[in-house]
Amino acid sequence: MKILLTSTSFQDTPGSHHNLLDSYNFDVVKMRGPLKEDVILDVIADFDGVICGDDEITRKVIEKGAKSKLKILSKYGIGLDKVDLSAAKEFNIPVANTPGVNNTTVAEHVFALMLCYSKNLIKENELIQNQNWTKLIGTELFQKTLGIIGLGHVGKEVAKRASAFGMKIIVFDKYVDSEFVEKLDIEISDSIEELVAKVDYLSLNASLNEDTRGLINANNIQKCRKGIVIINTARAGLVDNDAIIWGLDNKIINAYLTDVLEEEPMVLNHPFLNYENIIITPHIGSRTYENVVRQGTWAINNLVSHLNI
């Protein structure tokens, strides 16, 4: 059987997931994603299965694959916003993912970004590299208020770490685990507007769908507590970029810390590059040795189970 592998994290990270994939003697073709629709459309008919990342798996792609020999789309990861799920259902192509696999490593990345910003670590390193022994003044996370939008697998791990840092926690989610919030003494907010008005830091951990697209927008940024820091390790589409820039320009937002962009790799001359108080990492929140093995192994097992091997 012929398999398309597009995940760069899977490809670039050594580990037992490679041995597992090799053990099935598939004809594996590696392409470096995320692939645009036209690229994957040209090749999809050749494959029995795909281990995909954030490729544009549109209706056209699925239809063409289904009319040839495609049997399974196995997502290396959690988010399925780039897959046309209605088309997959219509053409009877199973779509599998790895829910919950990223929770610890992404939660750690949230705090890596927060600490880099609050302790001026990036600026201080740049100064030292330029032989400039300047001591900037940072801020503590202790006793600050963290807002979390999306109290799922990742959101809960972020909350646990925030509790350990001595932060007050407020959450917004349509479906709240009452036992969990009671255990960590978490406050529940009835709306995003209410939440952003109370918090010093805001972590976005919701999935992207039509209900959550652009949930951080000009309307609720105007209601934010002055000096808020927004951290996005989920999906770029959760925020309106123009609203983020407006909030920075008007001194409402102190910083935007993001691991995700609307187009990846980053486009040239992206407007975010004009701001020192925007920290960007290249979608590496889940890219650790431990997690790549977990995620890759799960994606392979999902693939194999639907190929009936």
Write out the catalytic residue numbers. Answer: 235, 264, 283
Q: Give me the DSSP letters along 162-207.
A: HHHTT-EEEEE-SS--HHHHHHTTPEEPSSHHHHHTT-SEEEE-PP
**Nearest to 49, CA basis, from 77, 80, 26:** 26
Question: How far apart are alpha carbons 63 and 53 in whole angstroms?
Answer: 19
Q: Give me the DSSP letters along 42-57.
A: HHGGG-SEEEESS--B
Q: Name the token pair of 31.
A: 């392409």
Q: 231 near 113, Cβ under 8 Å?
A: yes
* Cβ neighbours of 237 (radius 10 Å): 17
Question: How far apart are alpha carbons 74 and 96 in whole angstroms?
Answer: 5
User: Do the strands 27-30 and 253-258 form a parallel or antiparallel pair, or are they unpaired?
Assistant: unpaired
Q: Name the token pair of 306.
A: 């639907």
Alpha-carbon dihedral sign for residues 60, 65, 71, 72: negative
